[in-house]
Amino acid sequence: MMTPLAPPPEVMRLAEVIGEPAALALIEAFPGLRIYVPRSPTERIMAAIGAEAAAQLARAYGGEYLKVPAAKQWRVTIYRTRGLSYADIARRVGSTEDGVWRILSRAAMTSPQLDLFDQR
């Protein structure tokens, strides 16, 4: 069983406020972007992470700009543990399949023998 990398510190800070699933959803929606977090949740943020997490985010960061981490390496390992193919992961993180393979190699999550049914 593969284990994803531990979330980087900037993701952990977000996860402490809104939970890890919502932090991942926020990162997927706004990877590497600086977003303004209003004091009241907006439709755009609620659509990305849900109403409850958006309210928690507004309480913690309302009236401030938040740099959403890209957390590419962490996301790659999460997606791989969920069984996504290298191609699907590459599309999700804006990378190439070779780039995904390199990240997984460094995280010791590749096998020298490819899975017969993996769509690398």
**Within a domain: 44:** yes
Number of domains making up the chain: 2
In a domain, 2, yes or no: no
Are 79 and 99 contained in the same domain? yes
Q: What is the DSSP letter of 114?
A: P
| CA 40 to each of CA 33, 48, 75, 86: distance values in angstroms, whole numbers, following the listed order | 20, 15, 28, 38
Comparing CA positions, the residue from 100, 31, 37 lying closest to residue 69 is 31
Query: Do residues 13 and 59 share a domain?
Result: yes
On whether both 87 and 50 belong to a single domain, the answer is no
**Could you report the per-residue pLDDT of 19-78, keeping only the tens digit for each?**
999 999 999 999 999 999 999 999 999 999 999 999 999 999 999 999 999 999 999 999
Half-sphere exposure of 114 (CA within 13 A, CB side): 8
The whole-number pLDDT of residue 83 equals 95
Indicate whether 79 belongs to any domain. yes
Tens-digit pLDDT profile for residues 78-104: 999 999 999 999 999 999 999 999 999
41 & 88 share domain: no
Mean pLDDT, range 4-30, rounded to an integer: 94
Are 16 and 41 contained in the same domain? Answer: yes
What local confidence, expressed as pLDDT, does residue 55 receive? 98
